[in-house]
Amino acid sequence: MNDEKVLWEDDYYDDDDEDTQKDRFLTFKIGKEEYAVEISCVIEVIGMQKITHVPDMPEFVKGVINLRGQVIPITDIRMRFGLPAREYDDRTCIVVVTVEDTYVGIVVDTVSDVLDMPEETVAPPPKINQKPGSRYIQGLGKVGEDVKIILDVVKLLYEERFEQLPEGIEMEPDDRNLI
Amino acid sequence: MGGERKVIDEDVKAFIEESREILEEVEPQIITLGQLLDRNIPADPETINLIFRAFHTIKGTAAFYQFDTVVSITHKAETLLELFRQKDVELNTSCTDLLCKSCDVVEKLFKNIEETGSDDSDEEDVRTISSRLVGLTNLLAGRGGEQNQPETTTIEDDSGAEAETPETKEDITQKNRLFLTEGRPFFEEVLFFAKKIGKTEEEMTILDADNINNATGNLKILAETADFLEFDHVYQIIESLITLLQTVKENEYQIKKPEINVFVYGCNVIDDLLAIIEKEGNDRGHEDQISAVLEAVKNPESLYISDRFAEKRKKRLSRTSARKNAPEDSATTFTITEGMRLTFLNESAEFLDEIEDVFLSIKSDVTDKDYLAEAFRLLHSFKGSCGFMNYGDLERLAHRTETLVEAALDDVMILDHWDLKAIWFVLGVMRDTLGKIERNQGSKILNIAVLEYMLEYISSFPSEQEKYEEMLLPEIKKDRPTEIVLEPSPYENAGDDYETNPQGPKTGNAPEPEERREKGETRRKPDLEIESEDAIISTQDILSRKLERRDIRVSLDKLDELINLIGELVIAENMVIRNPDVVNREFENFEKASIHLSKIVRDLQDVALSVRMIPISGVFRKMIRLVHDLSVKSKKKVGLKLAGEDTEIDKTVAELIADPLVHLVRNAIDHGIHRKKQRNGSNDGNILLEARHEGGEVWIMIKDDGDGLDIQKILQKGIDAGLVSEENKTIMTDQEIIELIFQPGFSTSDSVTSVSGRGVGMDVVKRNIEKIKGHIDINSRPGIGTTFILRIPLTLAIIDGMLVRVGSASYTIPLLSIRESIQVDAQNVVETMDGQEMVRVREELLPVIRLHQLYNLDSDYQELHEGLLVIIEHQRETACLFIDEIIGEQQTVIKGLSGYMENIRGVSGCTILGDGEVSLILDVAGLIKRTYREDIVFHETIGLPAQQ
């Protein structure tokens, strides 16, 4: 009897694992806004560490850190979104995310929660282009009264590449679409 | 099944590796052969034998893995070589060229196999080489025949379809012999397969795809040869059998009983025909059976199976034993290199281990055919390599044992424990012989005749125990000239009562060997020895005869992992020793312990890195071929000398320097060496390739005795190409001018030849060498020659670094690039009008790179004389780095920066410091280049006025 139950539970959790990945988001705060990223691309959340500055990087790339022998770049999402810089404090965290085996740390003011946001509660991003950061928005998730801004991690990570191109080299519009 | 597949894949990998080694060994031999022929020195038969064996070995293994294309090419090359072996025809250079090309094609096929897993290739050159090989063979065979005997006969052709071919009788017999000896092994395997499937009683069986492919491959080879030798009947039947197998393949490997019968029948008919060929030299006869087979393939049900199958089996067995081995020309000694010998020894020891394992398993289940088949395969391979190495005695023993196992497989006999004991014994003898070979005591086996007799005797008796014993006893007693004493080896349980005499086998003793096996539990078999008057072996000898393994195959991935881990260890070591908690405090014991730790880590690192090292000889050997080809193409006679081939370099380095070497050698031949008007038998030019260790670097030198670089011509070309401005041309040093040849697109050639002239080569050289952090030095003297020295650091992953501080940031500078560190006086600093600061160091004026400006940092010092200057050097160009402080020297494990932080000015990678922080490693070459090349972007970014 007992064995059977354990077996059943295992199965249950296996199924659950896949479900956990889907529609689940890690939310964090930057300024007053709450942002969210898909949990499947989050590797871990670590505290602030000493960042080694790397020259020739756009302002929002703060440098690199050593994560257990692996050197990963750190971006500050505030600068990415054109928000004013803020001193790092105890609550400042680095969210390590991955896309296609590239690890990147994102500095956030504070990590809040892991939430379920089913597809039907997520609205498409607003059409109006107000802030420089709005193109990284994947959608807007509603949880109760709150609205979380869901970020497109791929864009967040990969658009950086092109911003470090020296000025004067114009990107073909086609190329931009490819990203 | 999945696991099995993988094992096969690994086997294939090993096969390719080994075959590559063989090819690499043999290619220079072919070339030497060709060169000797050039000088009208007749070919050395031993060399031909060696080449022949090489192809043969590759063919054998390739056939096992069903690489049909490889088999067909090596087979054809072999056939060609066979002609020379028979000495009917003289070797000429066109043959050696063709053989070289065959090597290339086979190598190409290996690549295919590695990439796609199969050697199917539609490539033109595969087909060309095949047809050229066959063509040449035919041509030479024809010519050779004529030379020998003008008498011609005609082959009678039953079908009458083929045209009459004039050939000499001798030729035919020779070819037939060739066909019989060469085709036998292939056919044997097919027969084996036929027997196996012939035993099924079921109406419908699903066969193993591998087996079918194997059989098809073997049949194809036979068909090809049969076709070539115009044994039409054999050819027809084989073709029809191939069709049959093809249909089976299409039916998803389902085979019906009637089809099996047809196949088995067909094989038997071929067997008969081969016997006829052996006797009469043609394949006439058995017409009714042939047509029966041909008919039956179309309609399997129509075949009437007689009981000749059983009869056949017996017949074949007797023939197998009668055939024996063709007379051994064991006296031939050819150049077996030490490396080959060692590889052979290691491999063979492996084979024996496996065979023993298999026999152990057989012991528990005598009837298990899988084990027997495995044993058969292993013995066959072992026999093959013994044959290749020309250890006749070993080969013969292995062959006998093989026959015995085959008989057991065919159900002709059942192995009982006595048989197994005999096999154990023989295996022991083989192992001893290997030990002897290892100790250079020759490969002769004492009492080989007795052993052979014993094995043959066993295999010729369909054995029920009693009958067997009854017959064995008197015979052995009578005929055996020596006694066989089975003794436990000294390192086995000494108390074990294990002295058995074959003369007195009692049924009561039957379970003894098993018992012993279980008791011993070790994999080692009892060491057996032969005692006789002429061979009494001392105990000491027995102790030393155990063969030692000297190498194992390890995957590169594992090695890399190990090296990575050691990298982490180096970092961890730094973390401990430079831990802020202990730094600047005096702990005497800690200090001692940490010094000890550092030493061990360093040793470990050396060892781990040395594991990745391979001798450079492999790369050099390729150059032999290249020089040969090029000198033929350019009609210049070029001599090549190699030195320091044993120098070991990192495997990655070895791969990366192959291309540069090719370009440099090419250039030397194309540009450096010119045809002499008067040759007087000497070479037009010579090239010396030398490798040696020099400090922390490996130096690879390519030296030619040609005309040297034409400085004026290079300068002129440089001006023409816009690489040098008119003003600069007077102030450029010779060295600077020479460096121009590394510019992409630079070529002094007025015309593009097939060999060189596009101006790509030297660019490739430079890029590849820089990739492995190496330097190139060029020394050139007109009329005397040019020397290129490639200086390559020994290791790539870990370097010695100097840690420096600028403000709050720390950077690592590779120690190899640092010339010295100095403090300057204020009056030695000069500033040019464009804002570039220069420092006078002794008689030199060096440009200064302010790191804090370059990287926009806040530094402690603003004035050059306050801080420190580190003089860095890259390919004779020097600059000073302005820093605040030197922190220290340490082992640096190089790590790449994250994928999307590429191309940072002056940074080549990063490393993790003792405190876990990341430090950037400065790219000295890049920094210097930027200073000297007056990069406008560079000046803009660091805030200096841009130059005009």
Q: What is the pLDDT of residue B736?
A: 77
User: What integer best gives the mean pLDDT of chain B?
Assistant: 71
In this predicted structure, the answer to whether residue B495 has a pLDDT above a threshold of 90 is no
Among A59, A60, A66, which would you mutate to test the B interface (most chain B Cβ atoms within 10 Å of its Cβ)? A66
Taking an 8 Å cut-off on Cβ atoms, the answer to whether A56 and B918 are in contact is no
Of B568, B898, B903, the CB nearest to A72: B898
Query: Can you spell out the DSSP letters for B518-540?
Result: HHH-SSPPPP-EEEBTTB---HH
Beta-ladder partners of B870: B821, B881
For residue A144, what is the enclosing H or E element? Answer: none
Does residue A52 belong to the interface with chain B, where contact is any CB pair within 8 Å? yes
Least CA distance to A72: which residue of chain B? Answer: B898
Copy the structure tokens of residue B947.
Answer: 């130059």
Question: Angle at Cα B546 formed by Cα B543 and Cα B552, nearest 5°?
Answer: 145
Taking an 8 Å cut-off on Cβ atoms, the answer to whether B918 and A64 are in contact is yes
In this predicted structure, the answer to whether residue A16 has a pLDDT above a threshold of 90 is no
Copy the structure tokens of residue A146.
Answer: 């709150």
The answer to whether residues B488 and B526 touch, using CB atoms and an 8 Å cutoff, is yes
Q: Where are the beta strands (DSSP E) in B445-564?
A: 483-485, 529-531
Mean pLDDT across B403-428: 75
Q: Which residues contact B885 (CB under 8 A, 6 or more apart)?
A: B804, B805, B860, B867, B868
Q: What is the pLDDT of residue B108?
A: 81
Q: Which residue from B178, B68, B179, B182 is spatially nearest to B126, judged by alpha carbons?
A: B68
The answer to whether residues A157 and B900 touch, using CB atoms and an 8 Å cutoff, is yes
Q: What is the pLDDT of residue A94?
A: 92
Output DSSP code: residue B531.
E
Output DSSP code: residue A126.
P
In this predicted structure, the answer to whether residue B707 has a pLDDT above a threshold of 90 is no
Q: Which residue from B199, B80, B66 is spatially nearest to B133, judged by alpha carbons?
A: B80
Q: Which residue from B279, B33, B68 is spatially nearest to B177, judged by alpha carbons?
A: B279
Q: What is the pLDDT of residue B87?
A: 66
Backbone Cα Rg of chain B? 36
Among A54, A59, A61, A167, which would you mutate to test the B interface (most chain B Cβ atoms within 10 Å of its Cβ)? A54
Of A55, A160, A161, the CB nearest to B856: A55
Lowest-confidence region among B129-133, B322-326, B427-431, B683-687: B322-326
Q: Where are the beta strands (DSSP E) in B159-234?
A: 166-167, 204-206
Q: Is A70 helix (H, G, I), strand (E, B) or coil?
A: strand
**What residues 907-926 of chain B have any CB closer than 8 A to a CB of chain A?**
907, 910, 912, 916-920
Q: What is the pLDDT of residue B596?
A: 93
Q: What is the pLDDT of residue B516?
A: 42
Lowest-confidence region among B64-73, B409-418, B918-927: B409-418
In this predicted structure, the answer to whether residue B311 has a pLDDT above a threshold of 70 is no
Q: What is the dihedral of CA B127, B133, B138, B140, to 10 degrees?
A: 160
Q: How far apart are CA B645 and CA B309, in angstroms?
A: 59
In this predicted structure, the answer to whether residue B870 has a pLDDT above a threshold of 90 is yes
Question: Angle at Cα B433 formed by Cα B428 and Cα B434, nearest 5°?
Answer: 100
In this predicted structure, the answer to whether residue B691 has a pLDDT above a threshold of 70 is yes
Taking an 8 Å cut-off on Cβ atoms, the answer to whether B912 and A53 are in contact is no
- In b/e form, how buried is each residue of B799-837, taking b as 16+ CB within 10 angstroms? bebbbbbbbebbbbbbebbbeebeebeeeebeeeeeebb
Higher-scoring residue by pLDDT: B273, A111: A111
Q: How far apart are CA B942 and CA B921, in angstroms?
A: 19
Q: Name the pLDDT band for B614 (thresholds 50, 70, 90).
A: confident
Of B856, B901, B907, the CB nearest to A73: B901
Does residue B571 belong to the interface with chain A, where contact is any CB pair within 8 Å? yes
Least CA distance to A101: which residue of chain B? Answer: B899
User: What integer best gives the mean pLDDT of chain A?
Assistant: 74
In this predicted structure, the answer to whether residue B804 has a pLDDT above a threshold of 90 is yes
Does residue A72 belong to the interface with chain B, where contact is any CB pair within 8 Å? yes
Does residue B901 belong to the interface with chain A, where contact is any CB pair within 8 Å? yes
Q: Distances from the Cα of B53 to the Cαs of B226, B389, B588, B760, in angstroms?
A: 22, 9, 65, 40
Q: Distances from the Cα of B688 to the Cαs of A99, B27, B627, B698, in angstroms?
A: 51, 19, 11, 16
Mean pLDDT across B931-936: 57
Mean pLDDT across B378-391: 78
Q: How far apart are CA B666 and CA B669, in angstroms?
A: 5
Q: What's the 3-state SS for B99-117?
A: HHHHHHHHHHHHHHHHHHC
Higher-scoring residue by pLDDT: B830, B335: B830
Q: Is B65 helix (H, G, I), strand (E, B) or coil?
A: coil
Q: Name the pLDDT band for B754 (thresholds 50, 70, 90).
A: low
Higher-scoring residue by pLDDT: B183, B668: B668
For residue A99, what is the enclosing H or E element? Answer: strand A93-99
Among B900, B907, B935, which would you mutate to test the A interface (most chain A Cβ atoms within 10 Å of its Cβ)? B900
Provide the sign of the torsion angle of the four alpha carbons B594, B596, B602, B608, taken in this order.
negative
Of B571, B898, B903, the CB nearest to A73: B898
Taking an 8 Å cut-off on Cβ atoms, the answer to whether A52 and B856 are in contact is no
Q: Name the pLDDT band for B555 (thresholds 50, 70, 90).
A: confident
Q: Is B464 helix (H, G, I), strand (E, B) or coil?
A: coil
Min CA distance, A102 vs chain B (Å)?
7
Q: How far apart are CA B602 and CA B29, in angstroms?
A: 42
Output DSSP code: residue B751.
S
Q: What is the pLDDT of residue B321?
A: 41
Beta-ladder partners of B714: none
Query: Can you spell out the DSSP letters for B891-907?
Result: EEE-BPPPGGG---TTE
Least CA distance to B942: which residue of chain A? Answer: A56
Single-letter amino acid code for the residue at B660: P
Lowest-confidence region among A17-21, B33-37, B182-186, B663-667: A17-21
Output DSSP code: residue A10.
H
Higher-scoring residue by pLDDT: A54, B500: A54
Q: What is the pLDDT of residue A130?
A: 58
Q: What is the pLDDT of residue B88?
A: 61
Least CA distance to B893: which residue of chain A? Answer: A69
Taking an 8 Å cut-off on Cβ atoms, the answer to whether A66 and B917 are in contact is yes
Q: Distances from the Cα of B599 to the Cαs of B77, B236, B314, B594, B606, in angstroms?
A: 55, 73, 70, 9, 11
Copy the structure tokens of residue B338.
Answer: 């030490």
Taking an 8 Å cut-off on Cβ atoms, the answer to whether B568 and A69 are in contact is yes
Residues of A in contact with B916 (CB under 8 A): 66
Most confident range, picked from A101-115, B695-709, B733-747: A101-115
Q: What is the pLDDT of residue B326?
A: 37
Residues of B in contact with A161 (CB under 8 A): 900
- pLDDT-above-70 percentage for chain B: 66
Residues of B in contact with A50 (CB under 8 A): 917
Mean pLDDT across A6-21: 48
Q: What is the pLDDT of residue B1?
A: 42
Residues of B in contact with A72 (CB under 8 A): 898
**What residues 100-159 of chain A have any CB closer than 8 A to a CB of chain B?**
102-104, 157-158
Residues of B in contact with A73 (CB under 8 A): 897-898, 900-901
pLDDT, one tens digit per residue, over A37-90 is 988 889 899 988 888 888 877 778 888 998 877 888 998 888 877 788 888 888
Q: Where are the beta strands (DSSP E) in B168-237?
A: 204-206
Read off the pTM.
0.45
Phi-psi domain of B544 (left: phi exceeds 0; alpha: psi -120 through 50; beta: other): alpha
Q: Which residue from B774, B776, B777 is spatially nearest to B793, judged by alpha carbons?
A: B774
Q: Name the pLDDT band for B812 (thresholds 50, 70, 90).
A: very high
Higher-scoring residue by pLDDT: A68, B644: B644
Least CA distance to B571: which residue of chain A? Answer: A69
Lowest-confidence region among B153-167, B622-636, B736-750, B815-829: B153-167
The answer to whether residues B353 and B359 touch, using CB atoms and an 8 Å cutoff, is no
Q: How far apart are CA B425 and CA B429, in angstroms?
A: 6
The answer to whether residues B202 and B260 touch, using CB atoms and an 8 Å cutoff, is no
Min CA distance, A73 vs chain B (Å)?
7
Lowest-confidence region among A37-51, B171-185, B222-236, B602-616: B171-185
Taking an 8 Å cut-off on Cβ atoms, the answer to whether A55 and B855 are in contact is yes
Least CA distance to A164: which residue of chain B? Answer: B901
Taking an 8 Å cut-off on Cβ atoms, the answer to whether A54 and B920 are in contact is yes
Mean pLDDT across B235-256: 75
Q: What is the pLDDT of residue B542?
A: 46
Lowest-confidence region among A54-63, A157-166, B374-383: A157-166
Q: What is the pLDDT of residue B526?
A: 42
**What residues 818-857 of chain B have any CB closer than 8 A to a CB of chain A?**
854-857
Q: Which residue from B676, B578, B488 is spatially nearest to B891, judged by alpha carbons?
A: B578
In this predicted structure, the answer to whether residue B111 has a pLDDT above a threshold of 60 is yes
In this predicted structure, the answer to whether residue B529 has a pLDDT above a threshold of 60 is no
Among B918, B927, B936, which would you mutate to test the A interface (most chain A Cβ atoms within 10 Å of its Cβ)? B918
Single-letter amino acid code for the residue at B371: Y
Q: Distances from the Cα of B334 to the Cαs of B252, B644, B705, in angstroms?
A: 48, 24, 34
In this predicted structure, the answer to whether residue B407 has a pLDDT above a threshold of 50 is yes
Q: How far apart are CA B596 and CA B262, in angstroms?
A: 76
Q: What is the pLDDT of residue B293?
A: 67
Q: Name the pLDDT band for B518 (thresholds 50, 70, 90).
A: very low
Taking an 8 Å cut-off on Cβ atoms, the answer to whether A103 and B898 are in contact is yes
Residues of A in contact with B937 (CB under 8 A): 166
Pair type for strands B809-814 and B918-922: parallel
Helix, strand, coil fractions of chain A, as percent rounded to 5? 30, 40, 30
Q: How far apart are CA B905 and CA B384, in angstroms?
A: 59
In this predicted structure, the answer to whether residue A92 has a pLDDT above a threshold of 80 is yes
Lowest-confidence region among A93-97, A139-143, B494-498, B923-927: B494-498
Backbone Cα Rg of chain A? 18
pLDDT, one tens digit per residue, over B896-925 is 777 667 667 788 888 888 777 888 988 887
Q: What is the pLDDT of residue B209?
A: 65
CA B275 to chain centre: 38
pLDDT, one tens digit per residue, over B845-859 is 888 888 888 888 888
Taking an 8 Å cut-off on Cβ atoms, the answer to whether A102 and B900 are in contact is yes
Taking an 8 Å cut-off on Cβ atoms, the answer to whether B912 and A69 are in contact is yes
Does residue A59 belong to the interface with chain B, where contact is any CB pair within 8 Å? no
Q: Is B687 helix (H, G, I), strand (E, B) or coil?
A: strand
Q: Which residues contact B194 (CB under 8 A, 6 or more apart)?
A: B215, B263, B264, B267, B268
Least CA distance to B902: which residue of chain A? Answer: A161
Taking an 8 Å cut-off on Cβ atoms, the answer to whether B919 and A73 are in contact is no
Beta-ladder partners of B786: B704, B780
